[in-house]
Amino acid sequence: QRAKTSATANAVTAGMGDDSTAALPAESGGGLAVEVSRTATATALAHEAFLRFSQNAMAGMGQALALQARLLEHGAGDSPTPAGRVAAEAASTSEPPAVRYDRDMCMEFAVGSAAKVLGPEFAALDSYPVRVRLPDEPLMLVDRILTVEGVKGSMTSGSVVTEHDVLPEAWYLDGNRAPVCIAVEAGQGDLFLCSYLGIDLAVKGRRSYRLLDATVTFHRHLPQPHETVRYDIRIDRFVRQDETYLFFFRFEGTIDGQPVLTMADGCAGFFTEKETAESGGIVETADETAPPPGTKPADWRELVPMHIESYDQGQLDALRDGDLAGCFGAAFSHLGLSDPLRIPGGRMRLVDRVVQLEPDGGRYGLGMIRAEADIRGDEWFLTCHFVDDMVMPGTLMYECCTHTLRIFLLRMGWVTERGCTSFGAATVRERDSVCYEPVVGVSSKLRCRGPVTPKTQVVTYEVHIKEIGYRPEPYAIADALMYADGHKIVKFTDMSIQMTGASREQIEATWSATREAHGFESVGLPVDGEPVSPEAKPAIFDNSRILAFAVGKPSQAFGEPYRVFDSERRIARLPGPPYKFLDRITEVHAQAWRLEPGGWIEAQYDVPPDAWYFRANRQPSMPFAVILEIALQPCGWLAAYLGSALRSDKDMSFRNLGGTAVLHEEIFADAGTLTTRVRINKVSEAGGMLIESFDMQIWRAGRIVYDGETSFGFFSQAALAQQIGIRDAADRRYMPSQAELRRGKPISLERVAPLQPGESFRAATVRERNASAPGPAAAMPTGALLMLDEIDVFVPDGGPKGLGFIRGVTNVDPDAWFFKAHFYQDPVVPGSLGLESFLQLLKLVALERWGEQLRDTHRFCPILVGPEHRWVYRGQVIPRNRRVEVEAVVTELREGPVPTVTGHGFLKVDGLAIYEMHHFGIALHPIDSPTDRD
C-alpha cells in the first residue's frame, strides 16, 4: 500500500491539502466509506507521505489521484460480467445478440444530442459548452452497444458491452492488423457509460474528461480484418473530492470469446482548464530517472554500425515510401528488398522529424530516440476527439511513441520484406505479412498528466530502450515520455513491440547476403584488405592549404566556390596552431562540392617528439584531448571539401555533438606518422541545421590505435545562443546530499610552468621555474593543459555507488590560449579540453586513493585503455561565459598492479549542463613495467 501510494504521489500533478476520507460526500457511496475505514491503519503511512508531498502542490487533480491509489488497492471484485451473459445467450441461440444502441445512435451521442440517446432527463447536457462524448469519425469505433447495466444518473457502478468490426478496407490497418492505438481506443465505451451514469449532470459542463491512468495487456495477436472485437467495460466507482471527480474502470476485449486484451487500473477525471494547465506534468522518482542497465542477449551482434543521427521530414517520407537508403544512408542501399518494412503514412503520419538518435544513449544505455511533430490545431485527431473539447487521444500518443521506436529498430538493421515466409529451422509458419505487434503478456502502463490541444505547438516523443532481443521474433521493450511544448505530460512504461513473422536468422541473412553480393562490408572504413601504410605519404592537400583553411583564406584551400568566405562571410574553420593536428590530406575518395554519404579521406599527422602537449601533460603518452582532435579534425576538413558551408546563406559554426570510440593503444612521443581515415556516412538537414555523421580511425605502424564514430552539426549563431544543454540532465545528474558535502573536502591545485603551449622553461619567471621542478611520476598537467582552477569538493565515499564524487571549477578566461586557436573568427573552448578536465578529475581521485603509495612508481594512462567511451555535447563555452563546473561520480574502482578509476559525469557552464561523459577512466601504470615506453 505504501509503495503504490508513494509512486502515485510522486506522479500527481497537484494536491488539495488534507486527503481525509471524511471529505467524501455521501453520494460517493457508503460501501466505499466502509472500505476506506477498514483499511485506515494500512494506509496511514502512505497518507502521511502524500501529505508531505502535497504541502506545496496546487489544488485539484493531486488529491484525487492520491485517493485513487488507495482505492485501486482494494480491487473491484469479481462479479459476473454482462459480456459473459451476452456471450452465453449468443451461444445458446443462432440469433445474434440484441443491440441496445446501433451505430447511428452512437454517432448521435458523439456529435449530436445526448437527450436523443439517453432520454429527456439528460436534455440539459445539450446546452453545456462541453460534455462527455464519443469521438467523431474517423475515430468513432463503437459500431454498436449491446447492453448497458446501471442506474441512469446514479453515479454508481455500471457496465456496457460494445463491439467494433475490423473491416478489410479500414483506414487504420498496418501490416493487415488493427494497430495498438485502435485496438485500445475501440474500448471507448467508458465515455458513453460515465455519461449514462450521470457525470455530466454532476459537473454541468464546467469540467472536461481527461484520462489519467491505465494498464493494457495483450493476450494474442492484434485484430485482423473480418474479426469483431467485443468490449466488456465496467465502471467500478465514482469518487468526488470537493469539485474534483474521478471514476475507476476496466475492460476486457475478446474475439469469439477468446481474450485479446485487457485494460486494468483505469482512472479518468474531470478538471477545469486552469487545473489542467497548472497540473505540473509527469513527476518521476529517483529510481525512474536512474534505473539499472538494460538487457540484451549475450551474443548480440551489431548488424550495421549506428551513430548519433537525426532525420528530417524528407528522410522520414522516404522511409514511409520504403526507401531505406533515402532515410538512413548508403549502408541500406544494397539490401535487395522490394517492399521493406516502413513506418505508416496517411492519417497515421504522426512523426515529422527525428531530432536525435543515440545508439547507446538513454536511461538504460541501449539506445534513445527523440522525435517531434508540429501541431497546427486542425489535425484530424483533434477535430474528431472531441467536437467540443479538442484533445489528442492518449491511445494515439502511444502510437506516436511506437512509430518513433520503429524508426530506431529499422535504423538498427531490423529490416525485411513486409511479405515474408522464413522463420528459422525449427518451425516454418506462413504469415500474411511481417508486422509490428505488442509482446503478449507484457503489461504497458500509461500515466497522463497533461493534454495536447490546438494551443500546443510541438510535441516530442522520447523513447528509452530497456530490453531488446529475440524470442525468436525480434522484440524490444521501452519506456517513453511525451512532451507538449517542452513540458513532460505523458509516460508509458514497458511499451513493447515485436516483429511478428520475422526472425533473427532471416534478418541477419539479409545483411550477410548484401555483403557477399557486393563484395564489401557495407559499413565501416575501407582498408583495401591491407593495413594502412605507417609511412608518410605525398600530400594531395598540403599543410599550407590546411593552414589557409584554418586561419587564412578558404579559397586558397579549396578554390573559387569558397572565395565569398575570404572576406565577405565567415566559414567554419579547422583549429589553428597550436591546436592543429592535421598536416596533409593524402587520399580523397569523395566528390568535391557534393554533400552525400559514402565519401572518405585519408589524413596524416607527424607527431613531434618534443611537442608541447607531452611536456604539458607531464606524462610520456599523448593526452586524450590531442588523440581525439587527431581523429576529429579530418572530419571537419571533409565536411568543408563536400561544400557544407554553401548549404546555407547564413554563416554557420561547426560543433561536435558527441561520439563513441575505443582507444586500443597509448600513443607516445616516438609515434612518428599517424594516419587518420574518416568516412561521412550520414547527412541530415532539418530546421536550418545540418548534421553529419562520420566513422573515424587512427592508424599507427599498421595497427588501428583509436576508432569510433562521431557526429557534427552546423549551427547559426542564433541557434547557438539558445542552447538548452543536456535535455534531461537535471533528472540524471547525481546531486550530493548536504551530509556528503559536509564530509567532503577541497583539493588545492598547483599551476606549474609552462603555462602556455609555446612557452619554454627558459621564458618562465623564477617563481614559475621553481614551481616546475621535477614532480612525481603520476603528476598533474602543467598550466598549459590544466583545465581546472580548484576542486571545491571531493567526497571519497560519495556518489550513487559510494565510490566517490568530485567537482572541479574554473573561471572562464577570455584571453586563454585555446580561444585564439579554436576557432579563428569563432572562439570556443574545444570540447576535447572539456573531456580532458573530466579525466583530470579522475586523476585526482586516483591520487587521493593511491597517491601516497604509487605516485612515484606509477604513471597515468590517458584513459582506461580498451572499453568503449562515449561523450555528448549539447552546448558551448565561449569567452563571455563566466564559470565552468565539472563533476564526476566514480562508477568503478579496481585495485591491483594497475589500479583504475572509471567515472561518469557532466560539465556545466554558468549552471547549464552541456557535456556528458560516459565510461571514461584513468589507470596508474607501473613505470618499471616491461610494457612501459617512457
The H-or-E segment that residue 689 falls in is strand 689-700
909 closest CA partner among 811, 825, 816: 811
304 closest CA partner among 217, 229, 414: 414
Give the bridge partners for 905, in sequence order. 888, 917
Active site residues: 385
Q: In terms of C-beta density within 10 A (0-12 exposed, 13-18 middle, 19 or more buried), how is residue 789 classed?
A: middle
Q: Which residues contact 158 (CB under 8 A, 6 or more apart)?
A: 148, 149, 150, 151, 193, 196, 197, 234, 235
User: What is the separation, in whole angstroms, between the first and last Cα of the chain?
Assistant: 63
How many other C-beta atoms lie within 10 A of the C-beta of residue 896?
A: 7
Q: Which residues contact 242 (CB under 8 A, 6 or more apart)?
A: 16, 23, 59, 63
**Grid coordinates 564514430 are at which residue?**
709
Q: Which residues contact 445 (CB under 8 A, 6 or more apart)?
A: 213, 214, 215, 265, 492, 493, 494
Sign of the dihedral defined by the CA atoms of residues 625, 631, 635, 636, in that order: positive
- Continuous H helices in 172-226: 180-185, 189-196, 199-203
Across 817-836, b (16+ Cβ under 10 Å) vs e yields bbbebbbbebbbbbbbbbbb
505 closest CA partner among 604, 395, 392, 428: 428
Distance separating alpha carbons of residues 59 and 16, to the nearest angstrom: 4
DSSP string, 570-616: -------TTS----EEEEEES-TT---TT-EEEEEEE--TT-HHHHH
- Which cell numbers hold the place of 820? 585564439
618 closest CA partner among 900, 862, 923, 864: 862
Q: Which residues contact 533 (CB under 8 A, 6 or more apart)?
A: 675, 702
402 closest CA partner among 314, 479, 503, 504: 479
- Which cell numbers hold the place of 483? 512532451
638 closest CA partner among 675, 599, 676, 606: 599
Which phi and psi angles does 13 have, rounded to 5°?
-100, -15
SS (H, E, C) 256-267: CCEEEEEEEEEE
How many other C-beta atoms lie within 10 A of the C-beta of residue 472?
A: 16
Across 50-75, b (16+ Cβ under 10 Å) vs e yields bbebbeebbbbbbbbbbbbbbbbeee
The number of helix segments (H) and strand segments (E) in the chain equals 28, 28
Q: Which residues contact 401 (CB under 8 A, 6 or more apart)?
A: 461, 463, 478, 480, 482, 492, 495
**Grid coordinates 616491461 are at which residue?**
930
How many other C-beta atoms lie within 10 A of the C-beta of residue 724?
A: 11
Ramachandran category for residue 529: left, alpha or beta (phi over 0 → left; psi -120 to 50 → alpha): left
Give the bridge partners for 448, in sequence order. 490
Across 629-666, b (16+ Cβ under 10 Å) vs e yields bbbbbbbbbbbbbbbbbeeeeebbbbbbbbbbbebebb
Which phi and psi angles does 811 have, rounded to 5°?
-90, 135
- Which cell numbers hold the place of 547? 593552414
